Structure 1
Amino acid sequence: MPGTRPRTHPRTRPADVDGEPLRVLVVVGHPLAGSLVHALAAAYVEGASDAQVRVVDLAVDPVPAHPASIDELRAARDGSTAHLGADVVRYVADLRWADHVVLLFPQWWGTYPAVLKAWVDRTFLSGSAFRYGPGRRWERLLRGRTARIVMTMDSPRWWNRLRYRNAAETSLRHAVLAYCGVRVTGVTRFAEVRHQDAATREAWLRTAARLGAQDARRPRAPRVEHDGSPRPAAV
């Protein structure tokens, strides 16, 4: 998988909102390079060749460090992130840039690996991804964006649904993405991984490529951009 720098594909599809193809951010949430998740991500990126694609691979890209203070979990009151480390600044910029976010990860212990949780904690910032308002209200600052979840697991789908209550998907779909205004367009679960043969895994790669091509054909939708103006209740 590509490392620290964005991968941008040629513009081969009709212009959309502002003359650009869809902007896709692919986040690989597996800490070990060469995994099945990496192969699925590579297939997705190849399929999405009509889109602009950036890749964050948490097996090779820096995993965000634990925050040293509460200020490292939020943007400044003007929306800037200059006070954060360079890696976090880049990840926040990637998220703001994206129209569509693809999260790929293995299910471990009923949820997703710590590297992906660290990326979420340090990237979906108060004042940047969401902003508190008066009382119990808040603003979803990533409205207009979409996401796709792709996960692998050794559990059968029925066990994941009945016993684990789809915990990984529920956490990302509702507690993270929807909370910030991001609409999930699809969830793909590749189940019982260790019991599958090579032919099945090859079929999964074709599925991932097909999902990439499908997403790349989507037009860019208008996004709601916040003004970044200071607000006392923002952070």
Structure 2
Amino acid sequence: MKILVIYTHPNHQSLCYAFLQKVLKGSHENPNIKDIQVLDLYEEGFNPLLVFNEHKRRRDMYRDPHLEKYRQQISWADKIVFVYPIWWGRPPAMMLGYIDQLFAANFAYKDKKGLLPEGLLKGKSVVCVSTMKGPANYPLLWLNNSHKILMKKALFSFVGINQVKFFEFGNMESPKGKQTKKLEKIYRYFKKIDC
């Protein structure tokens, strides 16, 4: 199994970064995982801004040469792991900008007759590891599960990825947030995962 880890947080002293390290430690100790690539969007200096004009059309985004490296990473990976905070009930703008540009027509999906497109990323799976200041049930009870609906239904199902696992860790700024226990949970998950 080949894993692409997409890390989206501007601070390497953050709890998100500690979760990234646990993903990597568990993955390196897992004999089922043959190769790992890490894309740190902030460190990479990824430009999340969409630009469309007379020279750059949206329908041609799937062959933009500036994005070729990132398309190759997605094509290469069997499993894509996103590590990020939940800010204002959703992933950071940097990560959404990456998704806007990479999950493009004729690369991630193909329009066809009917309501839904053909997903072109079938066979891949996704794990979302997210942290938030608010309580663990905040997205479910206050936001009607909007984070998971956005990621699973509006994005991943649309491009053919149906196997999606979520770890939403709340109370992460609280002294009673059980951070160590949650970090170990991620480590154990990646150490044992087999597909």
TM-score range, shorter chain: 0.7 to 0.9
Q: Which residue of structure 1 lines up, in the alignment, with residue 138 of structure 2?
A: 159
Q: When the two structures are superposed, what TM-score results if normalisation uses the length of structure 2? A: 0.88
**Which AA in structure 2 matches 1:210?**
R
Residue number among 80, 85, 93 corresponding to 1:114 in the alignment: 93
Q: Alpha carbons of 1:188 and 1:65: their partners in 2 closer, same or farther (altered >3 Å)?
A: closer
Q: Structure 1 residue 166: deviation in Å?
A: 2.1
Q: Is the 8 A contact 2:27 2:190 kept in 1?
A: yes
Specify the SS of the correspondent of 2:185. helix
Q: Alpha carbons of 1:73 and 1:211: their partners in 2 closer, same or farther (altered >3 Å)?
A: farther
Q: Deviations over 1:155-183 (max 9, x none)?
A: 21233211112222211111111110112
Residue number among 52, 58, 68 corresponding to 2:51 in the alignment: 68
Q: Deviations over 1:110-130 (max 9, x none)?
A: 111111101111111110000
Q: Which residue of structure 2 lines up, in the alignment, with residue 193 of structure 1?
A: 172
Q: Distance in 1 between matches of 2:47 and 2:65?
A: 10
Q: Distance in 1 between matches of 2:60 and 2:4?
A: 20
Let me know the Cα RMSD of the aligned residues: 2.0
Moved more, 144-153 or 32-41: 32-41
Q: Deviations over 1:168-206 (max 9, x none)?
A: 2211111111110112342111111111358x2222221
Q: Does 1:31 align with 2:10?
A: yes
Q: Structure 1 residue 135: deviation in Å?
A: 4.4
Specify the SS of the correspondent of 1:30. coil
> How does 1:141-156 map onto structure 2 within 5 Å?
141-156=120-135
**Which AA in structure 2 matches 1:111?**
R
Kindly name which structure, 1 or 2, has the bigger radius of gyration based on alpha carbons. Answer: 1
> How does 1:201-216 map onto structure 2 within 5 Å?
201-215=179-193
Q: Alpha carbons of 1:96 and 1:72: their partners in 2 closer, same or farther (altered >3 Å)?
A: farther
**Which AA in structure 2 matches 1:196?**
P
Specify the SS of the correspondent of 1:195. coil
Identity of aligned residues (%): 22
Q: Deviations over 1:55-78 (max 9, x none)?
A: 1112201223423227564457xx
Q: When the two structures are superposed, what TM-score results if normalisation uses the length of structure 1? A: 0.74
- Structure 2 unaligned segments of length 5 or more: list them: none
- Structure 1 unaligned segments of length 5 or more: list them: 1-21, 219-235
Specify the SS of the correspondent of 2:130. strand
